């Protein structure tokens, strides 16, 4: 993980960057907060059993250490220069938010991102029943953004859209919850691709936050140039993040 001591890190970093290092280390040290519960497979123990063990004081520290090793987080070699990039510009600050915010906030950002990316697919829905179903999956605000705001303010994000994601989410056999899960998982994969593109040193940390269900999602390599526009989108659509992203 972060190989320097606290004193060495503080001496090597400006105040804002050191604060980021502290926040990030604190988040990662709590796997129940950092890792997705459904990804907490540990040896023969199912995720639910691992979560239960984390609730037992006698096992908590041992299980936390094992989870960090399993996720290979402790194998990372992050240097002060890497940490400093998390406060150097908007891309770094968004990466920091994606790494430390709650899973609820992360999934909100993922749904926003996927909604904007699917703008072309959503606009091509011609049947009223399909449009209503898509609105129920995305939520009224995100559906409005996908059909009105995104094509005008974030048209380049359409390159990130996926016909398969839309068709899977809209399948007759998929409930609204399943459809939304498919869209959120694609959004999480977009956010992971964003981190991999703008701050590759932190890609493994972001990957550890994704649920197993997002593992099958892929982002076309040719679309990577459009990922930077996710920062502008989230600055507009995530009010609590706007001032931080800048």
pLDDT in tens, the chain (246 residues): 444 444 444 444 456 667 777 777 766 666 666 677 666 777 788 878 888 887 888 888 877 777 766 666 655 677 778 888 888 899 999 999 999 898 899 999 999 999 999 999 999 999 999 999 999 999 999 999 999 999 999 999 999 999 999 999 999 887 999 999 999 999 999 999 999 999 999 988 888 888 878 875 667 777 778 898 999 999 999 999 999 998
Number of domains in the chain: 2
Mark whether 71 and 102 lie in a shared domain: no
Mark whether 52 and 110 lie in a shared domain: no
Q: Which domain holds residue 53?
A: 6-88
C-beta of residue 72 within 8 angstroms of C-beta of residue 204: yes
Mark whether 64 and 114 lie in a shared domain: no
Residue with tokens 């063990």: 53
Rounded to whole angstroms, the Cα distance separating 217 from 104 reads 20
H or E element at residue 92? helix 90-100
- The pLDDT of residue 217 is 61
- The pLDDT of residue 7 is 41
Last-in-domain residue among 88, 118, 135: 88
Q: Is residue 1 part of a domain?
A: no
Mark whether 81 and 102 lie in a shared domain: no
Mark whether 115 and 225 lie in a shared domain: yes
**What sections of 35-118 are H helices per DSSP?**
47-54, 57-70, 80-84, 90-100, 103-117
Mark whether 108 and 208 lie in a shared domain: yes
Mark whether 125 and 68 lie in a shared domain: no
- pTM over the 0.85 mark: no
Rounded to whole angstroms, the Cα distance separating 101 from 81 reads 22
Q: Is residue 93 part of a domain?
A: no
Q: Is residue 61 part of a domain?
A: yes
Rounded to whole angstroms, the Cα distance separating 104 from 72 reads 24
Mark whether 104 and 79 lie in a shared domain: no
* Helix-helix angle 90-100:176-198, to 10 degrees: 130
How many CA atoms does the CB half-sphere of 131 hold within 13 Å? 10
Three-state DSSP at 77 gives coil
Last-in-domain residue among 88, 116, 134: 88
């Amino acid at each position: 993980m972060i190989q320097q001591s606290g004193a060495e890190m503080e001496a090597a970093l400006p105040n804002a960057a050191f604060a980021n290092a502290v926040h990030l280390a604190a988040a990662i040290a709590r796997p129940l907060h950092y890792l997705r519960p459904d990804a907490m497979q540990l040896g023969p123990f199912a995720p639910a059993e691992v979560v239960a063990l984390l609730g037992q004081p006698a096992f908590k520290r041992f299980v936390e250490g094992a989870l960090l090793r399993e996720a290979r987080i402790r194998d990372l070699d992050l240097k002060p220069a890497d940490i400093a990039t998390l406060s150097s510009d908007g891309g770094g600050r968004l990466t920091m938010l994606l790494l430390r915010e709650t899973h609820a906030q992360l999934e909100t950002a993922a749904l926003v991102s996927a909604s904007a990316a699917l703008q072309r697919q959503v606009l091509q829905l011609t049947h009223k029943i399909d449009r209503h179903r898509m609105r129920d999956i995305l939520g009224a605000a995100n559906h409005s953004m996908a059909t009105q705001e995104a094509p005008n303010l974030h048209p380049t994000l359409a390159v990130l859209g996926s016909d398969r994601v839309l068709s899977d989410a809209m399948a007759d056999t998929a409930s609204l919850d399943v459809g939304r899960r498919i869209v959120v998982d694609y959004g999480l994969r977009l956010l992971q691709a964003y981190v991999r593109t703008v701050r590759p040193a932190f890609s493994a940390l972001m990957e550890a936050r994704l649920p197993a269900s997002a593992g099958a999602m892929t982002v076309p390599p040719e679309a990577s140039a459009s990922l930077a526009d996710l920062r502008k989108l989230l600055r507009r659509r995530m009010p609590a993040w706007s001032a931080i992203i800048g």
